[in-house]
Amino acid sequence: MLWTVLGLFGLAAVSPWATRRLGDAAGWVLALGPAAVFVYWLVNWPAVAAGELNQTLPWAESLGVELAFRGDGLAGAMSLLVSGIGALIVVYAGGYLRGNPRLGLFFAYLFVFMGAMLGMVVSDHLIALFVFWEMTSVSSYLLIGFNHGKPDNRDAALKALLVTGGGGLALLAGLVLLGSIGVSLGLLLNEALRVSVLVEHAGAIQGHALFPAMLVLVLIGCFTKSAQFPFHFWLPAAMAGPTPVSAYLHSATMVKAGVFLLARLHPALAGGTLWVAVVTTVGAVTMLLGAVMAVGQRDLKGILAYTTISVLGTLVMLLGLGTDTAIKAMVAFLFAHGLYKAALFMVAGNVDHETGTRDVMALGGLRSLMPLTAAAGLVAALSMAGAPPMFGYVSKKVMLEAQVGAPTLAWLLTAAAVVANLCMVGAALLLALRPFWGAYREPPRKPHEAPRSMTFGPLLLAALGLLVGLLPGGFNATLGGAMASSIRGEPLAMKLKLMFGLDAKSLLIVALSFGALGLGYVLYRRLRGGPEFPAGLQGLGRYGPDRGYGRAMAGLMGLAKWQTRVVQSGYLRRYVLLVVGVVALAAGPLAVAAVRGGGAATIAGPLRVHEVVLALLVMAGAVYGVMARSRLAAVIGIGGSGIGLAVIFAVYGAVDLAITQLMVETLVVVILVLVLLRLPGAVRASGRLARGRDLLVAAAGGSVVTLLVLASATVELPAAVSSYYLNTASPAAFGRNVVNVILVDFRALDTLGEIVVVAVAGVGVASLVWRGAGRRARPGIEDPQRSGEAV
């Protein structure tokens, strides 16, 4: 299984090069990759059915992450869907983007996306699954923004990435929580996120205190990815991508990722009230909303996008219900949708490609010019509408069955499903009838039938939809049953059939089905002339979460600007003030406590006049340095203070120190004087209030240091290190000046570092003051005012 994923990534890496070599045939040839994956799953289906297809590789063991693959029914079915439709999409894209110099790049993105999708569906370890999950987000970002010349496309791509990425973060948090729940249940780190292990501990997990938080986070992840209300708004915007992308995104894969994960986690997490309530509600709302919004669209891809949202809502709702019928319905619906929606997107793409417009109102009568496309569109649309004998009809039937049999609020759910279906019918007819039948309207470009590469896919998919509808038994026995069992967590037989029984429930369902079809047709009649009637519905989109997204972005910008203004004001003095304030506030109370704690300190010994005078001088010099009007006077004051300090050192037996301090001070004064000479004039002082505040904060900072110094005397420990120096310097290090011996021998490494500092300071000053050194710099490269000046 690993190789199927890696193979696609490898294909991604070579496809830009391969596309250039293969020319027009590239699509057909490269499609062999996903086709091979498709074949792999077909060939291995017995193993899948037997649950024997497992593979575990070490990955990030330290974090308990393994590349654990499990080819169960769900994985196998999804893989077949992904790789099968994927192969068709590759073929289709080869035609759709023929001659586009970036076709190779497109294939690369597509294969990354496909590989990630395949990796995701087969992952048993949730972190590995998440890795692939995020890869789909990123590759879809690149795909949506493929035509990035237009700002709208870029915005749409970003919106998709931010919403799904944000959801991904929630999901990650949820998974991390789930992992820690697992560990707290006694699982090993690497097992705690293995779905196959978690399933066995479902009860314990759901009883854990962190379960609700975890569940909500995971659901947010799934809902954003699967465009559930209120996160659905990114999906219509993502129509911007080239059509093959939309097809792939919507039908098979990315948006189904969320549904897939819900299905994957269903055995472990589902069943509780929270799950049922949240998932069912969100799903139902999304189903209704998507369907209603769909009929308000004029853009082919817009209609498709909203109907997709509706279907996703349906799938989620079914998973929320979680009854056996609901799961069967979900499986059927998922596949049916995969087939017809991909076909319809390709059909829409063909229309767009050939006519240059996607506005349904601008199209009409294309049937004769594009017969194959029209045929595929019609069949697929019928499946979408749920008309017999299509796969769509079969799945709709079982869906309604699930609604009717819902444990609570069955009537409400059923009503919602019927309304949604009715809108779907309208939308389907709008898609398939309006452009092809009726009077011919002159589109922007003269249309003719799309090339074979672009009709092959939709025809095949539409035909499959019809085939499964007619003969659902094969599906029941293979894909459907295996997938449903995986979701259920125990064997579950699929029993889809075209015909219906004659019991009351079956009759009700059939009645509802056909009723929806009929009402849908009525709706279509209203819509055909132009969708004025649902124009009001557009408001739902405009004032809904999308607007919230815009507001959030603007708010974020405002907040960021405010923060920058407040925190990063550019006033150095304010920075210093804040830093010192932090020191005073954070360390001040602790320093006070430190002085009061511990033993009595001997801090007030006998005073000597000259020492007191020296200390006063040091302080006076410093204070004068602060008060002096003239900067030179300040230098003199501080210089005096430094020299006083030198003498204080001398008083306490530190001659070397005193000498050094003295000479350094002198040199510093010389340097400061040199600096001062060419310094521009000083600015006026700040206001009294500011000065008072600064003084207060500075004094608080100073007091902290004073307190710390005093506090150091509260602890009495032997000075063993010093004794060692005093006793060892002369006999072992052959020097009688112990301080110097420390500097050049005991702690010579300090001194080495120190002279490096001095040397660098010298180099630095030289580099600052040498104006001449750059004269011979190469022209063009020399850029003294480096970037980052403006704004």
Is residue 216 a contact point for another protein (CB under 8 A)? no
Is residue 596 a contact point for another protein (CB under 8 A)? yes
Is residue 188 a contact point for another protein (CB under 8 A)? no
Pairwise CA distance, residues 98 & 24, whole Å: 7
Beta bridge partners of 56: 68
Question: Measured between alpha carbons, how far is residue 536 from residues 162, 292, 540, 756 in Å?
Answer: 28, 11, 8, 75
749 binds, among another protein, Na ion, none (CB under 5 to 8 A by kind): another protein
Chain residues 99-118 in contact with another protein, contact rule CB under 8 A:
102, 105
Whether the Cβ atoms of residue 103 and residue 17 lie closer than 8 Å to each other: no
377, two tokens = 């569109």
Q: Judged by CB under 8 A, which stretch of 18-26, 172-180, 230-238, 417-425 contacts another protein?
A: 172-180
Pairwise CA distance, residues 233 & 159, whole Å: 9
Residue 100 or 751 having the CB closest to Na ion: 751
Is residue 597 a contact point for another protein (CB under 8 A)? yes
Residue 161 or 261 having the CB closest to another protein: 161
Chain residues 618-677 in contact with another protein, contact rule CB under 8 A:
618-626, 630-664, 666-677
Q: Which of 238, 435, 291, 252 is nearest to 352 (CA)?
A: 435
Chain residues 673-702 in contact with another protein, contact rule CB under 8 A:
673-683, 685-686, 694-695, 697-699, 701-702
Pairwise CA distance, residues 201 & 226, whole Å: 27
Q: How far is the CB of 711 from Na ion (least distance, A)?
A: 9
Residue 491 or 597 having the CB closest to Na ion: 597
Q: Which of 132, 13, 158 is nearest to 69 (CA)?
A: 132
Is residue 763 a contact point for another protein (CB under 8 A)? yes
Whether the Cβ atoms of residue 284 and residue 416 lie closer than 8 Å to each other: yes
Q: Which of 98, 209, 223, 240 is nearest to 171 (CA)?
A: 223
Phi/psi-derived region of residue 560, left when phi > 0, alpha when psi is between -120 and 50, beta in every other case: alpha
Pairwise CA distance, residues 400 & 517, whole Å: 13
**Given 5, 122, 170, 319, the residue binding another protein (CB under 8 A):** 170
Pairwise CA distance, residues 670 & 672, whole Å: 6
Buried b / exposed e over 270-309, threshold 16 CB at 10 Å, is bebebbbebbbbbbbbbbbbbbbbbbbbbbbbbbbbbbbb
Is residue 359 a contact point for Na ion (CB under 5 A)? no
Is residue 409 a contact point for another protein (CB under 8 A)? no
Pairwise CA distance, residues 227 & 249, whole Å: 11
Q: How far is the CB of 712 from Na ion (least distance, A)?
A: 5
Pairwise CA distance, residues 393 & 534, whole Å: 26
Whether the Cβ atoms of residue 266 and residue 331 lie closer than 8 Å to each other: no
Residue 155 or 745 having the CB closest to Na ion: 745
Q: How far is the CB of 118 from another protein (least distance, A)?
A: 15
Q: Judged by CB under 8 A, which stretch of 162-170, 239-247, 249-257, 286-294 contacts another protein?
A: 162-170
Q: How far is the CB of 616 from another protein (least distance, A)?
A: 7
**Given 203, 536, 571, 688, the residue binding another protein (CB under 8 A):** 571
Is residue 554 a contact point for another protein (CB under 8 A)? no
Tell me, by CB under 8 A, how many residues bind another protein. Answer: 241
Pairwise CA distance, residues 96 & 373, whole Å: 14
**Given 43, 209, 439, 749, the residue binding another protein (CB under 8 A):** 749
Q: How far is the CB of 452 from another protein (least distance, A)?
A: 30
Determine the residue type at 786.
R
Is residue 173 a contact point for another protein (CB under 8 A)? yes
Helix (H) or strand (E) holding 718: none
Q: How far is the CB of 178 from another protein (least distance, A)?
A: 10
Q: Judged by CB under 8 A, which stretch of 76-84, 129-137, 402-410, 486-494 contacts another protein?
A: 129-137
**Given 134, 352, 354, 546, the residue binding another protein (CB under 8 A):** 134
- Label residue 661 exposed, middle or buried (CB < 10 Å: 0-12, 13-18, 19+): buried
Chain residues 701-720 in contact with Na ion, contact rule CB under 5 A:
712, 715
Whether the Cβ atoms of residue 469 and residue 393 lie closer than 8 Å to each other: yes
Q: Which of 425, 438, 421 is nearest to 521 (CA)?
A: 425
DSSP string, 209-275: TTHHHHHHHHHHHHHHHTT-TTSTTHHHHGGGS-HHHHHIIIIISHHHHHHHHHHHHHHHHTTSHHH
Is residue 740 a contact point for another protein (CB under 8 A)? yes
5 binds, among Na ion, another protein, none (CB under 5 to 8 A by kind): none
Pairwise CA distance, residues 104 & 96, whole Å: 13
Q: How far is the CB of 234 from another protein (least distance, A)?
A: 14
Helix (H) or strand (E) holding 473: helix 472-475
**Given 43, 599, 600, 687, the residue binding another protein (CB under 8 A):** 599
538 binds, among Na ion, another protein, none (CB under 5 to 8 A by kind): none
218, two tokens = 């995971």
Q: How far is the CB of 189 from another protein (least distance, A)?
A: 9
Q: How far is the CB of 615 from Na ion (least distance, A)?
A: 20
Residue 140 or 308 having the CB closest to another protein: 140
Pairwise CA distance, residues 736 & 721, whole Å: 17
**Given 521, 582, 687, 689, the residue binding another protein (CB under 8 A):** 582
**Given 745, 750, 768, 784, the residue binding Na ion (CB under 5 A):** 745
570 binds, among Na ion, another protein, none (CB under 5 to 8 A by kind): another protein
Q: Judged by CB under 8 A, which stretch of 44-52, 349-357, 400-408, 737-745 contacts another protein?
A: 737-745
Pairwise CA distance, residues 406 & 412, whole Å: 10
Is residue 2 a contact point for another protein (CB under 8 A)? no
Q: Judged by CB under 8 A, which stretch of 62-70, 83-91, 390-398, 426-434 contacts another protein?
A: 62-70
Helix (H) or strand (E) holding 66: strand 65-70
564 binds, among Na ion, another protein, none (CB under 5 to 8 A by kind): another protein
Is residue 24 a contact point for Na ion (CB under 5 A)? no
Is residue 137 a contact point for another protein (CB under 8 A)? yes
**Given 43, 46, 50, 149, the residue binding another protein (CB under 8 A):** 149
460, two tokens = 């095949």
Longest dimension (CA), the chain: 116
Chain residues 268-327 in contact with another protein, contact rule CB under 8 A:
none
Give the length of the chain: 791
Chain residues 316-335 in contact with Na ion, contact rule CB under 5 A:
none
412 binds, among another protein, Na ion, none (CB under 5 to 8 A by kind): none
Q: How far is the CB of 432 from another protein (least distance, A)?
A: 35
Residue 46 or 605 having the CB closest to another protein: 605
Is residue 366 a contact point for another protein (CB under 8 A)? no
Q: Which of 467, 468, 473, 466 is nearest to 495 (CA)?
A: 473
Is residue 790 a contact point for another protein (CB under 8 A)? yes
Q: What is the CA radius of gyration of the chain?
A: 37
> Could you list the residues that contact Na ion (CB under 5 A)?
712, 715, 745
